[in-house]
Amino acid sequence: MALTDEQRRKLDRAQQILRYDFTNEHFLLSAITHPSAIEGRAVKYSYERLEFLGDSILGAIVATEAFERFHDLDEGGLTRIKVALVAGSTLADIAGELGFADIIVFGSSEAGTGKRGLHSALENVYEAVVGALFLDGGISAAREFVSRTVLPLMSQDLALEPENPKSALQEKLQEDGITPTYKLVETQGPPHDRTFVAQVFAGSQGLALGTGRTKKEAESQAAKSTLARLGEFFGLGLDGDARAEKAEAAAKAKAEKAEAAARAKAAKAEEKARRKNERERAKQQRKAGQ
């Protein structure tokens, strides 16, 4: 199959970014081709099947590295590290920084929408590229790319992140009597490649946004972002010291409010008494004049 000028240009750029020359470029072409560009041809011509393969290979590489690096972590800690690194938002951010937005082959229908599904496409193409590298160069080629792009983000701190950010956020906020709610604020992309945007709310106060390929993932990412920014939203990190400071400030504000109310009440009573005295004097003066 003859390549278009766009396909040739994007294939060359992709191989520069990946630092790998493909023996079979059709693996890479499929990995960087958005479903909107295949115009009814077989699914193998877009990234959808390679995405499935790459997701499994990426997970295995990350899990193996975490297992070998952190000998003191239990299954839960290792799982949290893996989940954080293979999350859609993480992969989309990495792909964006690598310049993947410039190598994706979109169809005319998607190009006309301004590529609203770009965030989802970046994640999908990253996984598909891992699959393409595996098919063309074996596990070593896939591992080299993942080691250069994802594994530098690995740290034991990720083991402390909650597996369920929504539950963790609810637990944190309910300590202050707040129950978080979630609202779908935007849906991006065509029906076959949706990206959802959700926002966390504390009452009527909007907190962080999150994106994902499902509503559930978008809400989870919004909760995760809110957890990381609690101090920004509420002026405290919800730890013991901050909670004490908050309580002290609230008590002080309450005392000041009560004192101000008492002063206002006393002033009002004084003014009422003054007016009553003036009325009495005026009444007495009228009687004396008669």
Question: Active-site positions?
Answer: 55, 127
Using a 10 angstrom Cβ sphere, with 0-12 exposed, 13-18 middle and 19 or more buried, the burial of residue 128 is buried
Q: How far is CA 288 from CA 280, 283, 284, 285, in A?
A: 12, 9, 6, 5
Using a 10 angstrom Cβ sphere, with 0-12 exposed, 13-18 middle and 19 or more buried, the burial of residue 60 is middle
Phi, psi of 177 (to 5 degrees): 75, 20
3-state secondary structure of 106: coil
For 84-100, the DSSP string reads HHHSHHHHHHHHHHHTG
Distance of alpha carbon 217 from alpha carbon 264, whole angstroms: 53
